[in-house]
Amino acid sequence: MVNRTKIKVNSLNLFYGDFQALIDINMDIIENKVTALIGPSGCGKSTFLRTLNRMNDLIVNARIEGKVLLDELDIYSEKCDLIQLRKSVGMVFQKPNPFPKTVYENVAYGPRIHGIKEKSKLDEIVEKSLRGAALWDEVKDRLNRPALGLSGGQQQRLCIARCLAVEPDVLLMDEPTSALDPISTLKIEDLLEELKKNYTIVIVTHNMQQAGRVSDYTSFFLNGEIIETDLTDNIFSKPRDKRTEDYITGRFG
């Protein structure tokens, strides 16, 4: 099987006003693999994640240099449609953030804003997405109940289902299990294994065991720079950089 590059990042710099949050980032994100971003708090890994679907556009004084190529098109170029980009690159947040609507409406939200109106089509998408997020069996009898009544782990899987419903190619996950209990965490990790068959996944995590368990590639961030990117097995068994080793063995961070 050929490893195709889904996202290519070329000398990316990001500034908040005078502060440089990302320094010369270069990275290839491989299709249908899970890439984990690790590093101490404030190292820029979440910021980097947000550059991949331009969620940093929301921050007023953020400025970007360099290129992020999704399937060879620069997502920061004028040709790129922000809305289509966010549709193709889904995002799951740290804290589960379902809308204060029903389970069904949460999943149907995305398809609806992208123009799907027929009830039968929506029903189909909702079921498929919820199955994709391994949540269907738990919620199929309560689709019309408020989503905020679900448990934290279920809410997070609902948010994943909500992403799947707009048929993205890439899933960005920003510490998706940090607010969850161990059992819910395991469920989501299992889910990642399934999802990577169809999606390219980038996950930010604080939890090194998690990175080890779920990812194929790992990238270590420190102070806004990438110190090292490699196969996860290599990073954890024979890191090339001293700082990576220090971090992984728990000597700092």
Partner 1 sequence: MKKYEKTIEIVLLISATVATLSVFLITFFIFKEGLPLLLDYGITNFVFGKDWAPTNGKYGAFPMIAGSVSVTVGALVIGVPAGIACAIFLAEIAPKSVVKFLKPAVELLAGIPSVVYGFFGLSVFVPMIRNYILPMVQKWNPNAYTSGYSILGGSMILAIMILPTIINISENSIRAVPIEYKQGSLALGASRFETIAKVILPAAKSGVVASVVLGMGRAVGETMAVILITGNMPKVPGNVLDSVATLTGTIAMEMGYATPTHQKALFAMGIVLFVFIMLLNMMATCTKRKLGGE
Partner 2 sequence: MVEMGMSKIITTNKKMKINIKEKLWYFFIYLSALFTLIALLSIIGYILMNGAKHIHWEFFVKEPSSMGREGGIFSIIVGTLYLTLVSIVIATPIGVAGAIYLTEYAKENRLVRIIRFGTETLAGIPSIIFGLFGFVFFVVFLGFRWSILSGGLTLAMMILPTLLRATEESLKTVPQSYREGSLALGATKWQTIMKVVLPSSVSGILTGLILGIGRAVGETAAVMLTAGSSLGLPKSIMDPARTMSVHLYLLASEGLSKEKTFATATVLVIFVVIINCFANILANKYMKKTKVES
Q: Does 71 bind partner 2 (CB under 8 A)?
A: yes
Q: Which residue of 163, 211, 222, 248 would you call a contact of partner 1, by CB under 8 A?
A: 163
**Pick from 9, 104, 83: nearest CA to 48:** 9
C-beta closer to partner 1: residue 76 or 109: 109
C-beta closer to partner 2: residue 147 or 166: 166
Of 15-23, 91-99, 123-131, 226-234, the segment contacting partner 1 by CB under 8 A is 91-99
Q: How far apart are the first and last CA of the chain?
A: 37
Q: Does 3 bind partner 2 (CB under 8 A)?
A: no
Spatial distance between the Cα atoms of 62 and 40, rounded to a whole number of angstroms: 22
- What character string, x for contact with partner 1 (CB under 8 A) and - otherwise, covers 49-68? ----x-x--x----------
C-beta closer to partner 1: residue 61 or 182: 61
Could you count the other beta carbons within 10 Å of the beta carbon of residue 60?
Answer: 7
Q: Which residue of 98, 153, 176, 212 would you call a contact of partner 1, by CB under 8 A?
A: 98
Exposed, middle or buried by CB within 10 Å (0-12, 13-18, 19+), for 130? buried
Of 64-72, 99-107, 177-185, 234-242, the segment contacting partner 1 by CB under 8 A is 99-107
R_g of the chain computed on alpha carbons: 18
CA dihedral 182, 48, 172, 181 (to 10 degrees): 10
Q: Which residue of 2, 19, 41, 72 would you call a contact of partner 2, by CB under 8 A?
A: 72
Query: What letter does residue 146 receive in the DSSP assignment?
Result: B
Distances in Å between the alpha carbon of 230 and those of 4, 30, 122? 15, 11, 40
C-beta closer to partner 2: residue 108 or 191: 108
Q: Does 5 bind partner 2 (CB under 8 A)?
A: no
> Which residues of the chain form contacts with partner 2 (CB under 8 A)?
70-73, 75, 79-81, 83-85, 88, 169
